[in-house]
């Protein structure tokens, strides 16, 4: 097994996630795509950890998982709040940061 | 790829499954289906991780992602009253999709190019199973401060989530 | 006198602890008395601070505190003087206040013949005018401020006088300027007064440019600010000082010209009359205008050794000043202005004497002049106090109403006019004699200055006679409803005391007979070996006295007229400016004496007056030019030039920002897209870089 | 006091205000009393510690860095947390903590609109950290960070609490709010200079690696050591450019003609406390930079540039004074006077002699307290009269005797009256200019000295003119019915220490010079060695 095959798979998954982030309008689905990207990163971390025979890769993926969990929690809370205030969870309708 | 190895066949299968599931996640018009496809993706990812020797990490992915995160997503979907079933306005119009696809594709190309350039045919070491004990030693030894920091992050997220999502009954 | 001297001798020998050999005169260190001389310097400042802070809660705005302080200075100065008389003292105390490289910056007190003489003069005049002011300033709107500044004035002069180094002298110099600014502008509600204060400060400041540079050059050459080191180096012929001697001497003299109101810097002094009269008395006699002469005296060993070429310039400036100021005094109606111009003129005598190398003569004239000039000012103040006007045209016949003021003022005027056997007679004679001596010993041009001096003596006598006759004789012409009365005792007692001084001060230096003053002044380090006349110079004695007497006589015959014609003249005296002078001249043509008088008055005095105005105009013209220039610099260069280019840059940035803001759509996903594209570009760039 | 000497003392002096600012962040906006108390206590502790530092300081070794420490910070670029003070930085550090205390006392009940004391105090405290930090930093990166740290709080202070008057810009013809214009101008100018300064620092860093020492370093002392002992020619042909870059950075801050135009606007628009801190400390950062960095590290270039600096300094003196004479706005006049006074400081530095640089340091301290006080008074006056137009003022001494007295006293100090603080800096700068370092053009410096001396006359001229317009004369009729109360307690509390300092420094300059002289002598000695070899 080569390292390249796992890394490329991770890259593929990441790119799919990027597509999702860019293309989805619903905020929940955007978050979901972000999770995809995180997973891709996890796979790569573990793979490189194995490649360099270093345990840090796995440790870091654990941290990523923890942070991802937190991110989803807060992200959904924010989405919820926005939904309550604007009765919509569509990201493109949120442009308060506009000039 | 050397298909004389059984591992590679397993990998191939998993890769196909995970790719398909991920693509379905980002393209389906049914929100609930998207969440379920994510479950599939995660499960496959866990399998790949275990295959790489990350036993503990794999099971953590299963527990945290499938057990908690996806459930949370489903809650989110329910609460925001997204249409269960097919919805039309979930995605942007065509030209945005093309743009996004181009960006994603280029990104993939760049990553692939980089990996191939850098690692080519480099083989993974044979023995790779890391014991949970080693992870624990490392986590509570060298990485104890980041670990504590992450626990703060989680605590903050917990409190933040409650504060944000709570309805003020008084008002 | 002899008894006093013996007494002093015993006191001095008690105090003197160590004897030191120096320049032919035995100098003692003065013991405790000299060591504590700094008390005199510090106390006035303490008083000024105290009055500033607590004056309002003290009776009479702290007046008596101020008087007590200067009284202490007088007593201390007198005791010092007596013990110095017995055993010459030369002592210096120094405190280091900073060290920069090899330079020590110090405060110091020098106690020697020169400074002791000045301590005494300042103490005496200050005590008299302070006491006088207690009554004069009663009920003034800002009594506290007055007393604080007045104490500061005395203290500042003492800092200057006691300076053991040239830097401290500069400090005292500027502090005197500050105090005079405060006092001249005492009635600052009137713009005229605050302008006069400003004028005094600024004219002095201009002259101080010379002083500052003149101070720092010798200090840099010698490596020390101390007079001891600088004068020592000068006497020994330090090559650096020899090279720069002329420049330094000239620059220091420019500073002295400012403070001592020498032509062409004399313009501030007449305007300085805006302050209360006791201030004028102190300023003209002891604390301000004498500073320049004192500086020349202090630095005299320097001038005498390495800057000897400057002395003729000094002498000529003195000569010019005495003449033009004397002429101006003739046409004044304001009694204080007459006295002010006369001060300028007398300062010219002192400076001319210094320039002729007669250190003792110059300072002796300073000494006697202090007494009679302060007497005259205080007398004038007493008159002004009584008639509520400065103008002699509002006075007349006051001798009946205020006898004490009259006879004291009269003594002062006679002393100033050089009336035989009064103080001014001796000192003026010595100045003229020294000029005569100098003319035959290396400075031939001193002859001219001597003749100028004699002419000025005549002019002086004339205008003083005019002032006295206009003020005290004839009919009273002021407000009839307001009958003048003699001033209170607190004002007349200082007048009487000063009158005694104006009589006896001259006897301290009778050539060849009794010369303690000469001995005092030679009791210092590097005592200048100037010429002391062994006896009277009969030629100048006769000429000078005659000039004075003729002046008085002409003044008498002209101004001591009957009431009617004088009244008619006074009507024209009230007219302003040059017209006034012109009309006055026209009216007096038919008188025989008038012909001579008019000759002096019209062309010469007018020319002097015109020159005066010219200098005034130059000063204010420069001011206007500066403000125009300032406006140009500010509006033209600053606002339109530099600023505009900055604004253009700022504006450009703003425009660019306006155009670029449209990329801020607020849409998260567009941002994300840009982010990813950016990452891609970076990655591509990275590949390109690394692939090489 | 082992802990104090080992660097903790200075660290606390610098960072206690930051800690206090952080605490203030946590306090609700409505708790004004608590916020003020915390800020005051923090600044007092910081000041107290800096007084302790005076006692712990070994004046016998004032030429060396003391009370400091050096900890690894960013190892990859060899930047260290290196702090310490010598005789030059000690008085300036004490001045900065001192002025901050007074500024907070003064603000006690003088809040410029739009109020919000919490935010205002936080800005002051951040400024305190930046100012003290700049004076204790021994590492270029650290220096730069502190140097820039003061920028932002001051920007907000001017921009938010500044003068809301509308002004029309000449030529461009745009109407803007004074505070916005001034704050942006201030920011742009300073940032412009800083950018070049950073370039200069980086160049020094990389060049030091090529020197005989062979290690890239940001350490000021090490760099100075290289420049004066180890390898004087290490900068090669880049040296003039590096000096120019540093010069730009510092000269803007000073400010030197023609880079001064931000100063009058910033001063005029800033709230009182802002002007005070700006005048008292911020301007000193530039001149301090020259003394601390430019002279020791680039001695030869300093020699080459000294005539230019001297000429610019003299132009600043004359130009500033002339501009003062054209002002109608009191605060603006005082602001322009700073240009002139800082010109004297720069003249002192340009002579590169012991006397000149000592003059510069004492000039900085004196200008800090005097002009600081002038701005305090001007601020309080405009607070009462609601105008700064001198033509409308007049007779202030009659309406408010104490205030007028203090204004008069301070103006006298500002015009360099001997016996008060301002004199020593001016006079000694002139002394220095008469005999500059060997090798500098005597004629030029002596001409500069004469012009500088004439500048003192102009200085006296405009200050007396201002006094006459503002303080003297009869009060205008419009103030007859206005109730004007004289100096208040908090004002007095903030001003009296400055008044005392002015007199003390004037009578006994050893307070400052005693510390600076050995340090300055050391710098000059190094320069002489470097230039001579």
Distance from CA of C677 to the nearest CA of B (A): 7
Say if D395 is an interface residue toward chain C (CB within 8 Å): yes
In sequence order, the β-bridge partners of residue A26 are: A90
Say if the Cβ atoms of A62 and B157 lie within 8 Å. Answer: no
**Is the previous residue joined to C479 through a cis bond, with omega within 30 degrees of 0?**
no
Q: Calculate the CA dihedral of residues D443, D447, D449, D454 and round it to 10 degrees.
A: 170
Q: Name which of A83-97, C13-27, C181-195, C345-359 the model is least confident about.
A: C13-27
Give the model's pLDDT for residue C467: 84
Task: Note whether B102 contacts C: Cβ–Cβ < 8 A.
Answer: no
Test A95 with C667 for CB contact under 8 angstroms. yes
Task: State the nearest Cα–Cα gap between C657 and chain B, in angstroms.
Answer: 27
Q: Which of C662, C669, C673 sits opposite A91 (nearest CB)?
A: C669
Closest residue of chain C to B104, computed from CA coordinates: C676
Q: Identify from A7, A9, A10, A26 which residue to disrupt to test chain B contact, counting B C-beta atoms within 10 A and taking the largest count.
A: A26
Nearest to C680 among B92, B106, B117 (CB): B106
Least confident residue range of A86-90, B30-34, C239-243, C350-354: A86-90
Contact C677 B113 (CB under 8 A): no
* Integer Cα distance of D43 and A32 in angstroms: 50
| Bond preceding residue C264 cis, omega within 30 of 0 | yes
Assess whether pLDDT exceeds 50 at residue D87.
yes
Chain A nearest-CA distance from B90, in A, is: 5
Mean pLDDT, all residues of chain C: 78
Decide if C633 and D184 are in contact by the 8 Å CB cutoff.
no
**What pLDDT shows up at residue C396?**
74
A97 to chain B, minimum CA–CA distance in Å?
20
Q: How many domains does chain D have?
A: 1
Question: For the segment D148-173, what is each residue's pLDDT rounded down to a tens digit?
Answer: 988 889 999 988 888 888 876 655 55
| Cβ count near B133 (within 10 Å) | 9
**What is d(CA D162, CA D274) in angstroms, rounded to the nearest whole number?**
9
Contact: A21, C672; criterion CB under 8 Å: yes
Q: What DSSP designation does C92 have? A: E
**pLDDT tens, residue by residue, C150-160:** 899 999 999 99
Find the mean pLDDT for residues C489-517.
Answer: 85
Nearest to A22 among C665, C666, C669 (CB): C669
Which residue of chain C comes nearest to A24, CA vs CA?
Answer: C669
Q: By mean pLDDT, which of C584-593, D224-233, D477-486 is the weakest?
A: C584-593
Fold of B3-94: 1.20.120
- Exposure of A97 by Cβ count < 10 A (0-12 exposed, 13-18 middle, 19+ buried)? exposed
Q: Which residues of D touch C629 (CB under 8 A)?
A: 322
Interface of B with A in 16-45 (CB under 8 A): 18-19, 22-23, 25-26, 31, 34-35, 38, 41-42, 45
Q: How confident is the model at residue D91 (pLDDT cuts 50, 70, 90)?
A: very high
The more confidently predicted of residues C360 and B83 is C360
Residue C15: pLDDT band (50, 70, 90) is very low
D325, D434, D474 member nearest C626 (Cβ): D325
Q: Coil, helix or strand for C217?
A: helix
Q: Does D328 touch chain C (CB under 8 A)?
A: no
Tell me the three-class secondary structure of D317-375, residue by residue.
HHHHHHHHHCCCEHHHHHHHHHHHHHHHHHHHHHHCCHHHHHHHHHHHHHHHHHHHHHH
Partners of residue A3 in chain B, C-beta under 8 Å: 119, 122-124
Q: Which residues contact C408 (CB under 8 A, 6 or more apart)?
A: C375, C379, C492, C495, C496, C498, C499
Q: Who has greater pLDDT, D42 or C193?
A: D42
CB pairs A-B closer than 8 Å: 250
Please write the tens of the pLDDT for every residue from C112-168. Answer: 888 888 899 999 999 988 888 888 888 777 888 888 888 999 999 999 999 888 888
Is D468 in the C-facing interface, judged by CB distances under 8 Å? yes
| Cβ contact A36:B45 at 8 Å | no
Q: Is D412 on the interface with C (CB under 8 A)?
A: yes
- Give SS3 for C99: strand
C653 chain-D contacts, CB cut-off 8 A: 188
Q: Which of A77-91, C487-501, C656-670 has the lowest mean pLDDT?
A: C656-670
Beta strands at D166-168 and C103-111: parallel, antiparallel or unpaired: unpaired
Nearest to C617 by CA among C201, C264, C189: C264
Closest approach of D336 to chain C, Cα-based (Å) = 10
Provide the whole-model pTM.
0.73
Distance from CA of D460 to the nearest CA of C (A): 7
- Asked whether at least 3 C-beta pairs link A and D within 8 Å, the reply is no
Phi, psi of C101, rounded to the nearest 5 degrees: 55, -125
Residues 4-33 of A with CB under 8 A from B: 4-9, 11-20, 22-29, 31-33
C673 touches chain B (CB under 8 A): yes
Tell me whether residues D456 and C205 touch, CB distance under 8 A: yes
Give me the mean pLDDT over the D270-275 stretch: 91
Which residue from C662, C666, C672 is facing A97, i.e. has the nearest CB? C666
Cα(B120)–Cα(B129) distance, integer angstroms: 23
- Domain A27-89 belongs in CATH node 1.10.10.10: no
CB contact under 8 A, A18 and B103: yes
Q: Which of B99, B106, B113 sits opposite C687 (nearest CB)?
A: B113
CB count within 10 Å of CB C593 equals 13
Q: Are C375 and C411 in contact (CB under 8 A)?
A: yes
When CB atoms are compared, the residue of C664, C673, C676 closest to A99 is C664
Contact state of A96 with C666 under an 8 Å Cβ cutoff: yes
Which chain B residues are Cβ-neighbours of A77 within 8 angstroms?
A: 160-161, 164-165
Residue closest to C499 by CA, chosen among C374, C346, C337: C374
* Contact at CB, A50 and B138, closer than 8 angstroms: no
Check whether C445 has a pLDDT greater than 60: yes
Residue C108, beta-bridge partner list? C94
Task: Check whether D276 has a pLDDT greater than 90.
Answer: yes
Q: Rg of the Cα trace of chain D?
A: 22
Q: Is the CB of residue D407 less than 8 Å away from at least one CB of chain C?
A: no
**Interchain proximity C198–D465, CB inside 8 Å:** yes
Percent of chain B with pLDDT over 70: 88
Cβ pair A22:C672 closer than 8 A: yes
B155 contact A CB<8A: no
Most confident of D112-116, D208-212, D412-416, D486-490: D412-416
Beta-strand ranges (E) seen in C495-614 are: none
Task: Give the residue extent of every domain in chain B.
Answer: 3-94, 130-171
D406: confidence class by pLDDT, cuts 50, 70, 90: very high
Residues in a beta bridge with C107: C95
Q: Please indicate if any CB of chain A lies within 8 Å of the CB of C664.
A: yes
pLDDT of residue C575: 40
3-state secondary structure of C259: helix
pLDDT band at B82 (very low <50, low <70, confident <90, very high): low
pLDDT in tens, D422-480: 898 898 899 889 888 888 888 899 999 999 988 888 888 888 888 888 888 888 888 87
Select from A17, A66, A83 the Cβ nearest to the Cβ of B80: A83
**Interface with C, mutate which of B26, B103, B116 (most C CBs under 10 A):** B103
Q: Residue D69: which domain range? A: 2-532
Q: Looking at this predicted complex, what is its ipTM?
A: 0.64
């Amino acid at each position: 097994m080569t390292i390249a095959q796992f890394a490329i798979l991770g890259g593929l998954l990441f790119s799919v996630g990027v597509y999702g982030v860019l293309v989805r309008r619903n905020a929940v689905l955007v978050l979901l795509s972000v999770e995809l990207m995180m997973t891709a990163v996890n796979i790569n971390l573990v793979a490189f950890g194995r490649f360099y025979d270093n345990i840090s890769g796995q440790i870091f993926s654990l941290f990523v998982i923890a942070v991802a969990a937190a991110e989803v929690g807060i992200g959904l809370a924010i989405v919820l709040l926005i939904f309550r205030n604007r009765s919509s969870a569509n990201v493109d309708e949120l442009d308060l940061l506009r000039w | 790829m050397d298909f004389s190895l059984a591992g590679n066949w397993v990998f191939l299968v998993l890769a196909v499954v995970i790719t398909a599931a991920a693509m379905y996640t980002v393209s389906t018009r049914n929100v609930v289906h998207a969440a379920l496809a994510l479950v599939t993706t995660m499960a496959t990812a866990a399998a790949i991780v275990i295959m790489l020797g990350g036993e503990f990490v794999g099971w953590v992915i299963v527990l945290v992602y499938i057990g908690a995160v996806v459930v949370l997503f489903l809650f989110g979907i329910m609460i925001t009253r997204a249409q269960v079933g097919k919805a039309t306005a979930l995605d942007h119009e065509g030209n945005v999709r093309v743009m996004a696809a181009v960006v994603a594709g280029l990104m993939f190309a760049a990553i692939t190019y980089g990996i191939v350039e850098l690692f080519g045919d480099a083989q993974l070491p044979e023995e790779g199973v890391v014991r949970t004990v080693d992870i624990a030693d490392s986590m509570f030894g060298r990485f104890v401060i980041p670990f504590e920091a992450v626990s703060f992050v989680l605590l903050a997220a917990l409190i933040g989530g409650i504060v944000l999502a709570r309805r003020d009954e008084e008002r | 006198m002899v008894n006093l001297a013996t007494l002093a001798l015993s006191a001095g020998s008690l105090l003197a602890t160590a004897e030191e050999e120096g320049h032919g005169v035995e100098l003692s260190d003065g013991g405790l008395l000299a060591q504590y001389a700094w008390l005199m310097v510090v106390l006035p400042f303490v008083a000024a601070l105290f009055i500033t802070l607590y004056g309002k809660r003290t009776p009479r705005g702290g007046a008596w505190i101020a008087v007590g302080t200067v009284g202490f200075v007088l007593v201390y100065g007198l005791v010092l003087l007596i013990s110095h008389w017995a055993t010459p003292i030369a002592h210096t105390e120094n405190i280091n206040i900073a060290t920069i490289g090899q330079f020590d910056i110090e405060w110091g007190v020098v106690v020697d013949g020169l400074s002791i003489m000045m301590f005494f003069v300042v103490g005496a005049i200050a005590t008299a005018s302070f006491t006088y002011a207690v009554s004069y300033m009663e009920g003034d709107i800002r009594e506290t401020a007055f007393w604080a500044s007045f104490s500061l004035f005395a203290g500042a002069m003492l800092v200057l006088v006691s300076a053991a180094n040239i830097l401290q002298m500069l400090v005292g110099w500027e502090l005197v300027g500050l105090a005079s600014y405060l006092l001249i502008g005492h009635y600052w509600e009137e713009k005229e007064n605050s302008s006069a204060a400003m004028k005094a400060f600024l004219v002095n400041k201009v002259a101080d440019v010379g002083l500052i540079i003149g101070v720092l050059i010798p200090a840099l050459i010698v490596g020390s600010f101390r007079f001891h080191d600088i004068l020592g180096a000068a006497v020994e012929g330090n090559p650096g000082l020899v090279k720069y001697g002329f420049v330094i001497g000239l620059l220091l003299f420019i500073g002295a010209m400012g403070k001592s109101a020498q032509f062409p810097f004399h313009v501030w002094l007449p305007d300085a009359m805006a302050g209360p009269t006791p201030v004028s008395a102190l300023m003209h006699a002891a604390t301000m205008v004498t500073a320049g002469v004192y500086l020349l005296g202090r630095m005299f060993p320097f001038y005498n050794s390495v800057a000897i070429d400057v002395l003729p310039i000094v002498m000529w400036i003195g000569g010019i000043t005495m003449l033009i100021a004397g002429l101006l005094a003739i046409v004044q109606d304001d009694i204080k202005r007459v006295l002010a111009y006369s001060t300028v003129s007398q300062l010219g005598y002192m400076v001319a004497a210094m320039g002729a190398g007669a250190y003792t003569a110059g300072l002796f004239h300073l000494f006697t002049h202090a007494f009679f000039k302060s007497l005259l000012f205080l007398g004038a103040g007493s008159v002004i106090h009584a008639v509520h006007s400065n103008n002699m045209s509002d006075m007349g016949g006051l001798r009946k109403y205020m006898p004490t003021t009259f006879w004291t003022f009269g003594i002062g005027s006679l002393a100033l006019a050089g009336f035989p056997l009064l103080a001014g007679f001796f000192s003026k004679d010595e100045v003229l004699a020294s000029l005569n001596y100098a003319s035959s010993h290396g400075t031939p041009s001193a002859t001219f200055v001597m003749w100028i001096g004699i002419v000025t003596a005549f002019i002086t006598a004339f205008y003083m006679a005019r002032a006295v006759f206009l003020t005290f004789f004839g009919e009273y012409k002021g407000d009839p409803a307001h009958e003048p009365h003699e001033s209170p005792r607190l004002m007349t007692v200082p007048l009487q005391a000063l009158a005694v001084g104006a009589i006896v001060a001259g006897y301290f230096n009778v050539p060849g007979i009794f010369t303690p003053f000469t001995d005092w002044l030679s009791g210092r380090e590097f005592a200048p070996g100037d010429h002391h006349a062994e006896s009277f110079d009969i030629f100048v004695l006769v000429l000078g006295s005659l000039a004075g007497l003729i002046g008085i006589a002409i003044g008498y015959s002209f101004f001591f007229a009957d009431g009617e014609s004088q009244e008619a003249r006074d009507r024209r005296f009230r007219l302003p400016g040059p017209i006034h002078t012109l009309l006055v001249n026209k009216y007096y043509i038919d008188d025989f004496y008038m012909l001579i008088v008019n000759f002096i008055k019209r062309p010469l005095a007018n020319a002097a007056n015109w020159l005066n105005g010219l200098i005034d105009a130059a000063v204010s013209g420069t001011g206007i030019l500066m403000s125009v220039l300032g406006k140009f610099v500010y509006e033209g260069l600053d606002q339109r030039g530099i600023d505009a280019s900055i604004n253009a840059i700022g504006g450009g940035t703003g425009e660019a920002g306006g155009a670029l803001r449209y990329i801020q759509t607020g849409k998260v996903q567009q941002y994300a897209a840009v982010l990813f594209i950016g990452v891609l570009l970076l990655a591509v760039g990275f590949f390109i870089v690394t692939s090489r | 006091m082992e802990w104090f000497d080992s660097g903790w003392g200075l660290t606390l002096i610098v960072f206690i205000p930051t800690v206090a600012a952080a605490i203030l962040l946590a306090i609700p906006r409505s708790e004004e009393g608590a916020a003020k108390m915390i800020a005051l206590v923090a600044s007092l502790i910081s000041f107290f510690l800096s007084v302790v530092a005076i006692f712990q300081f070994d004046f016998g070794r004032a030429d060396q860095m003391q009370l400091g420490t050096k900890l690894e910070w960013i190892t990859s670029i060899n930047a260290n947390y290196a702090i310490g003070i010598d005789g030059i930085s000690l008085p300036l550090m004490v001045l900065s903590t001192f002025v901050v205390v007074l500024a907070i006392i003064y603000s006690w009940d003088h809040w410029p609109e739009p109020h919000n004391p919490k935010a205002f105090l936080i800005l002051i405290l951040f400024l305190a950290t930046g100012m003290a930090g700049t004076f204790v930093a021994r590492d270029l990166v650290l220096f730069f960070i502190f140097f820039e740290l003061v920028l932002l709080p001051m920007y907000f202070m001017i921009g938010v609490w500044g003068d809301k008057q509308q002004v029309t810009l000449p030529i461009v013809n745009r109407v803007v709010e004074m505070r916005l214009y001034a704050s942006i101008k201030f920011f742009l100018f300073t940032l412009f200079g800083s950018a070049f300064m950073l370039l200069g620092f980086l160049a020094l860093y990389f060049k030091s690696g090529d020197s005989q020492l062979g290690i890239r370093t940001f350490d000021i002392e090490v760099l100075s050591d290289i420049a004066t002992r180890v390898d004087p020619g290490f900068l090669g042909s880049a040296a003039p450019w590096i000096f120019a870059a540093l010069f730009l950075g510092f000269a803007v801050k000073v400010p030197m003609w023609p880079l001064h135009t931000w100063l009058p606007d910033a001063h005029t628009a800033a709230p009182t406390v802002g002007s005070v801190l700006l005048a008292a400390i911020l301007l000193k950062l530039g001149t301090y930079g020259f003394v601390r960095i430019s002279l020791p590290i680039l001695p030869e270039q300093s020699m080459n540039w000294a005539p230019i600096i001297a000429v610019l300094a003299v132009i600043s003196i004359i130009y500033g004074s002339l501009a003062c004479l054209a002002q109608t706005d009191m605060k603006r006049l005082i602001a322009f006077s700073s240009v002139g006074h800082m010109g004297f400081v720069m003249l002192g530095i340009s002579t590169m002699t012991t006397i000149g640089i000592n003059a510069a340091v004492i000039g900085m301290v004196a200008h800090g307290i005097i002009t600081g006080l002038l701005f305090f008074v001007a601020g309080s006056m405009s607070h009462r009269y609601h105008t700064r137009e001198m033509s409308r003022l007049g007779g202030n001494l009659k309406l408010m005797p104490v205030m007028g007295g203090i204004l008069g006293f301070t103006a006298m100090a500002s015009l360099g009256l001997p016996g008060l603080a301002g004199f020593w800096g001016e006079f000694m700068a002139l002394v220095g200019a008469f005999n500059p370092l060997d090798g500098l053009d005597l004629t030029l410096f002596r001409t500069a000295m004469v012009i500088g001396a004439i500048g003192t006359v102009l200085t006296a001229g405009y200050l007396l003119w201002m006094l006459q317009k503002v303080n003297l004369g009869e009060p205008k009729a419009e103030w007859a019915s206005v109730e004007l109360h004289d100096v208040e307690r908090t004002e007095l509390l903030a001003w009296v220490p400055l008044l005392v300092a002015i007199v003390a420094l004037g009578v006994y300059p050893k307070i400052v010079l005693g510390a600076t002289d050995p340090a300055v002598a050391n710098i000059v000695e190094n320069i002489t060695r470097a230039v001579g070899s």
